[in-house]
Structure 1
Amino acid sequence: MMSSSTKPNLIAILYIATFMSIATYSYLQNRKFSFMPVVKNSLCQGIVVNDTITPLRDNRTFIIAPYLDNRKNRMTRVIAIVHHKEVKELYCLFCHPSSGETHISKAEIQVLSDRFEFPYGATHLLCPLTENWDPHYMTIQRSPKNNTGPLPLFEIRNREPEGSLVDFTVCISTMFGEYNNVLQFVQSMEMYKILGVGRVVIYKNSCSKLMEKVLDFYITEGIAEIIPWPIDSYLDTSSHWHHAADPKDIGYYGQITALNDCVYRNMYRSKYVLMNDIDEIILPIQYPDWKSMMQNLKNKHPDAAVFFFESHLFPKHVFTPNDPFNISSWRKIPGTNILQHVFREPDRNPVENPRKMIIDPKKVIQQSVHKALQAYGGNIYVPMNVGFLFHCRVSHQPQLPRESLIRDISLWRYNVSLVGNVSKVLHQIAL
């Protein structure tokens, strides 16, 4: 039995504790990130999802993956796609694997600025983490209240190293439209290997059966990592970069979202990440490979986060006269033979040439196609005599006569190794 003399003291303690709880809660509510009280529920019994794209129940929010980001303020950064007008509030629910406890916090919704007027855009959801707490799983929902029914659980990546550390990873996004440019793909992959790639990450929407066979070869070899990218199962996708050219839900098959996911997926698996398409190759000019080039550039610019390389277009309809690389065994392979195209278009003044980049993934915060939107370091524009982006594709200036084009055989520095390696791969795949 409790004595009557202890009752006033207990009431006072309870009053003070209640007051402190209310004051703490109000303080947290007024902060940019607001934590809700710790609760115990059935969240840890939710369904762990492994799909690359997971729609929430509102069908206006699509989760790609959460990543631990403790570079500045400890948080979980969730790569997502959201409708920029209709999604105004989201909540992060964290699950502790052993106790079953959960933390709920309000997400800061950052729709990336390069949305190009499409309704849906690449988005970062910033979810703060409490100190000394290491959740393994989380989910996102529209309300701070727990929904009924099982919730999708996402494993938080980058909590510990995943996969082998390599010097260079190339991020390819996105492969779509039943892609079948087999010969150019193999040539690009073999050039990447010559230049020093350790991993090529490909966000694949669709490709031909023949291309599937090629991808399987590189997966078995250990160089390719294929990320399924079925974005057109959820959104009306455009193959153009701007909404005015093709008014759909999202631009270029969600390319910017895929690039952001690729940065964080490889943040602690790769020293550098290259952001370019499969028909593009960053060619070193003063150096034999990427490693020697980047060692020199990094020594000169130790605080840089992004190294830009100017793109130069080599039109695929202009062939080399007296072609030394019209290889008979390659003729039956669908696609472009880049060794046959060594005439580049002149600059289109005053239009600036686009650029692609090599980034330090640990320093990049938000990524777009031709620039890093946010980073913890500066930008370096690499001179063309050090390196440039070889881009073999449909011409920007088809009206130009041949004499206006510039002969540039930089690629031919690698022709012996490239021809031998490509022929060997085509033979091994039995194309």
Structure 2
Amino acid sequence: MMQRKLALVVGIGALTFLLMLRWEHVITLVNLMSSKRPSAEPELRKGTITPIPGSRHLMVSAFKDHRLGGAIRVISIICKQERQPLYCVLCANANARADAMADGALNQCAFSPAKVDMHSESFGFPFVTSDVLCMSPALQQATHVSITANQNANLTFLTIQNREVKESFKYNFTVCISNLFQEYNNALQFAQTMEVYKLIGVQRVVIYNTSCGPDVEKILKYYRKEGMLEVVPWPIDKFLPPSTGWKYDLHHGDMHYYGQLTTLNECIYRYMYQSKYLLLNDIDEIIMPYNHANLENLMGTLQQQHPNVGVFSIENHIFPDTQFDDSGRIRLPQWSSVPGVNNLEHVYREPDRKHVFNPTKLLISPRSVQQTSVHSTLKQFGLFFNVPFDVCRIIYVRVPLQRQLSKDQLFVDKKLWEFEELLISSIDRALKESGML
């Protein structure tokens, strides 16, 4: 039933997109195709962020969206003050094979007008996560795309990903971590979080890295070698002055939190056909089932109860890092030299505050989502469900939000201790093999 409804919604979305190509755009397309070709030998993108010629905009990655009739969606960063027309250059390489690109052998190129869909959430910053949408009826078999505001510029091409729909997935659960920045060096908490996720069924973690400290670098290297972690370089600070906070009036900069919204959206499309589910949260947050042994059991129950839901919202609950377990039971001497927070020591949880929004993070089927913000989706197929906090909630060890509360006004929550035996040994192994112990 869910698949039939989703197919109907996707069909309507595809028809809507095709209608976006108004008649005057079709005339422009014909004129461009008859008179323009890339002006120089095509160049394939080498980094993860690429300037769009003739503008201050940036393009990140490109994906075929089968839900929109095969439109090419280029995840981009658009300056809201610049609204000049953008153009797509869609190309197929000679043999439609990636290895043919080694010689720059792009041909069969077609120009078409681009449609810019700026996301509705930017937190007031001048640069906003956007989708640049391309559709050229003349070239449905495109393998590469470039976006430009200057039709005579030298072009850099992105490989179009997700060209085939897949019904089976390499991973069941993948965590998308939006950003590491400002020499992030919380190595102990990082390793603990990774090991907890292993125990509850996560097979893959994706991290966008602007900068991290030397100890976290060792941890990243260990988990990459092990195969659980993908690290995506994210040098946004080489292109824009990013903000270190979420609100423009307070934190300034050109873009929210080092491009957090862009990386979350990029991760959704990167793993669209690699993972059945995605968890969208930060490295110091653990989405934890409380009524089920693991994520697979949790989602089996939730999907059976809510078959048309593709977005599950999980409440965030604060464990103050100023309050410690009195027994000192898990204040282990071998971890004392490792920088970072020991999650296992913090077993006191703040109560919910009445009349105050409790932030949430997301557990999604990526094929149900078009655009996301941090705490909720912006565009989606299917339904949305708020998961009760006693079924699943986020363990978030951080500075307290309710500083006035004494320890006896907090709730004792020792959920992580249920994994104590396996968890401590696995953390020790990760720290030793990464060179931290």
- TM-score, normalised to structure 2's length? 0.88
Q: Aligned pair 1:427/2:421, yes or no?
A: no
- Tell me by how many angstroms 1:30 deviates: 3.5
Distance (whole Å) between structure 1 residues aligned to residue 70 and residue 160 of structure 2: 13
405, 415, 418: which one pairs with 1:413? 418
Q: Give the residue type in structure 2 aligned to 1:60.
A: R
Partner of 1:22: none
Distance (whole Å) between structure 1 residues aligned to residue 164 and residue 245 of structure 2: 37
Q: Aligned pair 1:124/2:128, yes or no?
A: no
Partner of 1:51: 47
79-88 or 247-256, which moves further after superposition? Answer: 79-88
Distance (whole Å) between structure 2 residues aligned to residue 208 and residue 289 of structure 1: 31
- Tell me by how many angstroms 1:198 deviates: 1.4
Q: Give the residue type in structure 1 aligned to 2:251.
A: D
Q: Aligned pair 1:154/2:120, yes or no?
A: no
Distance (whole Å) between structure 2 residues aligned to residue 55 and residue 426 of structure 1: 39
Assess, with a 3 A threshold, how the Cα gap between structure 1 residues 32 and 353 changes in structure 2: closer, same or farther: farther
Structure 1 stretches lacking a partner, 5+ long: 1-26
Offset from partner CA, 1:225-278 (integer Å, 9 cap, x none) = 000001011111111111011121111000000000000000000000000000
Assess, with a 3 A threshold, how the Cα gap between structure 1 residues 34 and 325 changes in structure 2: closer, same or farther: farther
Distance (whole Å) between structure 1 residues aligned to residue 49 and residue 67 of structure 2: 25
Offset from partner CA, 1:190-210 (integer Å, 9 cap, x none) = 011111111100000000112
- Tell me by how many angstroms 1:133 deviates: 2.2
Partner of 2:142: 135
Query: Percent sequence identity over matched residues?
Result: 37
Distance (whole Å) between structure 2 residues aligned to residue 44 and residue 298 of structure 1: 51
321, 330, 336: which one pairs with 1:331? 336
Structure 2 stretches lacking a partner, 5+ long: 1-20, 95-105
- Whether the 8 Å CA contact 1:79–1:124 is kept in 2: the answer is yes
- TM-score, normalised to structure 1's length? 0.89
29, 32, 38: which one pairs with 1:35? 29
Partner of 1:278: 283
Q: State the SS of the aligned residue for 2:191.
A: helix
- Tell me by how many angstroms 1:174 deviates: 0.5
Instruction: Map residues 382-401 of structure 1 onto 2, 5 A cutoff.
Output: 382-401=387-406
Let me know the Cα RMSD of the aligned residues.
Answer: 2.0
- Tell me by how many angstroms 1:58 deviates: 3.5
Q: State the SS of the aligned residue for 2:390.
A: coil
Distance (whole Å) between structure 1 residues aligned to residue 352 and residue 407 of structure 2: 15
Offset from partner CA, 1:153-191 (integer Å, 9 cap, x none) = 111111147997100110001000101100000000001
- Whether the 8 Å CA contact 2:169–2:276 is kept in 1: the answer is no
Which is higher, the Rg of structure 1 or of structure 2? 1
- Whether the 8 Å CA contact 2:38–2:155 is kept in 1: the answer is no
Distance (whole Å) between structure 1 residues aligned to residue 38 and residue 135 of structure 2: 22
Q: Give the residue type in structure 1 aligned to 2:148.
A: Q
- Whether the 8 Å CA contact 2:91–2:139 is kept in 1: the answer is no
Partner of 1:23: none
**Number of residues of Structure 1 aligned to a counterpart in Structure 2:** 402
Q: State the SS of the aligned residue for 1:374.
A: strand
- Tell me by how many angstroms 1:377 deviates: 1.0
Q: State the SS of the aligned residue for 2:93.
A: coil
Partner of 2:89: 93
Distance (whole Å) between structure 2 residues aligned to residue 207 and residue 373 of structure 1: 30
Q: Give the residue type in structure 1 aligned to 2:81.
A: K
Q: Aligned pair 1:374/2:414, yes or no?
A: no
Partner of 2:235: 230
